[in-house]
């Protein structure tokens, strides 16, 4: 009989995509997926290490899972992903954990589980620079069957001084463009309407074979032409690699969504240098100008954090002023969390007091909420093409979807359904969502 696997995912979109890959690997080896944790023979927890609180969540979760193991003595629990890679040995000491596997080791999961039968606590934390999970069919983990992820690069070579990712995901590698095209066409055949190309730094995508040299703008162009009726998104871009060529390709193709997530992290040159971000405030603002002038309807979002080593009130003010200049539609904001093993943990004091970090974060969030509201208000009266994702949580008769700018819009369903493209006129906004009405006539 099939064994039942339950997969729980924390962290970034790359982890969501990885869990789909893991499901593909498990289902090809006599497992079936279950949506109820209590029904599982095997629980896999795909983890994140980016900040300490992401790891604390997992430790708390393990205490709950320990109680499930008391009820089901045959239950096997595996920790996979970034936290497994970072502290796999320590995780194995926890009663609830039977095995661990890092981000490059997912093909070995069925074997690791078999090894647990002979009472070992197996681990696979090997890096594999050639691993792109080529040939594995991903299995969707959510009900949303219109929007899919395609990982195009894995790993990271940037070594931002605060960041754990180069240590947990290893060196950067790009998938073969032929595999990517195949995967995208496959999603199109399954009626998906949108793909998001994923990588820690998608702009540095590069793959060459004897026929072609393919960089990121070239890949985008190939995909835009291959699936003209699908929306194409991508994340994340590193500002240092955001080329004019990419902006041109985005401007040229209607099906490339007009949204760029361009993580700035800080607005202070002193801090950017300590972070090893390899650009200055001025360079970043120049990139933003290039985007705004060539793609006027392009939405901008960012990751920003406060309280990095040596950040003074003046440095923080530079961050706030950059936020005001750029006017992001959306930003993910954090406080610095020192990660053991990174350059910053070894060489830069974590010397901004916790209460100052907290207070700066609150100011940042307050400012961004104001900016998001202002940006959303500019959308009132405008008409957007919205891809319908599903029923609104608040009301059965309402649907929600996204504009190509990645803004969530709620509207009366009418005859529309999941997967439709509809034109919606925006009537009301908050800092987080737009509300509108479907227009019957086409744009």
Q: Which residues of this chain interact with ligand SF4, rule CB under 6 A?
A: 11-12, 14-15, 48-50, 81-82, 164-165, 168-169
| Pairing verdict, β 31-33 and 421-429 | unpaired
Give least dist CB 263 to ligand 5AD, A: 4
Question: Which residue is listed with tokens 């095209």?
Answer: 181
CB contact at 8 A, 32 and 117: no
Closest-CA residue to 80 (of 122, 118, 114, 34): 122
Q: Which does 263 bind (CB under 5 to 8 A by kind): ligand 5AD, ligand SF4, none?
A: ligand 5AD
Closest-CA residue to 307 (of 342, 344, 258, 282): 344
Question: Is 141 an interacting residue with respect to ligand 5AD (CB under 6 A)?
Answer: no
Among the listed ranges 21-29, 319-327, 335-343, 405-413, the one in contact with ligand 5AD (CB under 6 A) is: 335-343
CB contact at 8 A, 363 and 324: no
Output DSSP code: residue 383: E
Among the listed ranges 214-222, 269-277, 285-293, 332-340, the one in contact with ligand 5AD (CB under 6 A) is: 332-340
Give least dist CB 164 to ligand 5AD, A: 7
Query: For the chain, how far is it from start to end, CA to CA, in angstroms?
Result: 53
> Nearer Cβ to ligand SF4, position 82 or 262?
82
Q: Which does 48 bind (CB under 5 to 8 A by kind): ligand SF4, ligand 5AD, none?
A: ligand SF4
Neighbours of 338 (CB within 10 A): 15
Q: Which does 266 bind (CB under 5 to 8 A by kind): ligand 5AD, ligand SF4, none?
A: none
Question: Is 265 an interacting residue with respect to ligand 5AD (CB under 6 A)?
Answer: yes
Alpha carbons 414 and 442: distance in angstroms, whole number: 15
> Nearer Cβ to ligand SF4, position 109 or 250?
109
Question: Is 364 an interacting residue with respect to ligand 5AD (CB under 6 A)?
Answer: no
What does the block give as tokens for 221? Answer: 């162009």
Give least dist CB 125 to ligand 5AD, A: 21
> Nearer Cβ to ligand SF4, position 50 or 271?
50
> Nearer Cβ to ligand SF4, position 169 or 231?
169
The site that binds ligand 5AD (CB under 6 A) totals a number of residues, namely: 12
> Nearer Cβ to ligand 5AD, position 253 or 334?
334
Among 44, 113, 163, 387, binds ligand 5AD (CB under 6 A): 163
CB contact at 8 A, 411 and 424: yes
> Nearer Cβ to ligand SF4, position 48 or 187?
48
What does the block give as tokens for 288? Answer: 């933003």
Strand partners, 123: 100
CB contact at 8 A, 232 and 195: yes
Q: Which does 364 bind (CB under 5 to 8 A by kind): ligand 5AD, ligand SF4, none?
A: none
Q: Which does 247 bind (CB under 5 to 8 A by kind): ligand 5AD, ligand SF4, none?
A: none
Beta strands in 276-414 (DSSP E): 299-306, 330-335, 383-391, 398-403, 408-412
Alpha carbons 192 and 197: distance in angstroms, whole number: 14
Among 109, 263, 271, 295, binds ligand 5AD (CB under 6 A): 263
Alpha carbons 14 and 150: distance in angstroms, whole number: 9
Residues that bind ligand 5AD (CB under 6 A): 50-51, 162-163, 263, 265, 303, 305, 334, 336-337, 339
């Amino acid at each position: 009989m099939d064994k039942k696997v339950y997969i729980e995912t924390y962290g970034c979109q790359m982890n969501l995509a990885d869990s789909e890959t893991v499901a593909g690997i498990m289902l090809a080896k006599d497992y079936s997926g279950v949506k109820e944790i209590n029904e599982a023979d095997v629980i896999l927890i795909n983890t994140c290490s980016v900040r300490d609180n992401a790891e604390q969540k997992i430790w708390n979760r393990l205490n709950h899972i320990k109680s499930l193991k008391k009820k089901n003595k045959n239950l096997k629990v595996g920790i996979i992903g970034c936290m497994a890679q970072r502290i796999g040995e320590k995780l194995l000491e926890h009663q609830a954990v039977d095995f661990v596997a890092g981000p490059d080791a997912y093909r070995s999961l069925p074997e690791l589980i078999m090894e647990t039968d002979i009472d070992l606590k197996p681990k696979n934390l090997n890096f594999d620079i050639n691993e792109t999970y080529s040939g594995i069919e991903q299995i969707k983990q959510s009900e949303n069957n219109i929007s899919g992820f395609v990982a195009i690069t894995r790993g990271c070579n940037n070594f931002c001084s605060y960041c754990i990712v180069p240590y947990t995901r290893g060196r950067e590698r790009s998938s073969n463009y032929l595999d990517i095209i195949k995967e995208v066409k496959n999603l199109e055949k399954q009626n998906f309407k949108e793909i998001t190309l994923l990588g820690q730094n998608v702009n540095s995508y590069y793959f060459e074979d004897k026929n072609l040299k393919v960089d990121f703008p070239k890949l985008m162009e190939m995909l835009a032409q291959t699936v003209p009726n699908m929306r194409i998104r991508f994340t994340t871009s590193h500002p240092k690699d955001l080329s004019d060529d990419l902006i041109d390709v985005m401007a040229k193709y209607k099906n490339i969504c007009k949204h760029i997530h361009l993580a700035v992290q800080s607005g202070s040159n002193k801090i950017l240098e300590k972070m090893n971000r390899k650009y200055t405030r001025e360079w970043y603002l120049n990139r933003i100008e290039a985007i705004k002038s060539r793609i006027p309807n392009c939405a901008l979002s960012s990751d920003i954090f406060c309280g990095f080593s040596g950040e003074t009130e003046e440095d923080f003010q530079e961050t706030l002023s950059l936020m005001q200049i750029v006017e992001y539609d959306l930003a993910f904001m954090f406080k610095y969390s020192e990660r053991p093993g990174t350059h910053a943990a070894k060489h830069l004091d974590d010397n901004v007091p916790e209460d100052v970090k907290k207070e700066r974060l609150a100011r940042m969030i307050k400012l961004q909420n104001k900016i998001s509201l202002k940006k959303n208000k500019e959308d009132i009266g405008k008409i957007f093409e919205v891809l319908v994702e599903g029923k609104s949580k608040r009301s059965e008769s309402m649907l929600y979807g996204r504009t190509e700018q990645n803004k969530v819009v709620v509207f009366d369903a009418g005859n529309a359904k999941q997967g439709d493209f509809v034109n919606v006129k925006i009537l009301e906004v908050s800092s987080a969502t737009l509300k509108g009405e479907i227009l019957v006539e086409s744009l």
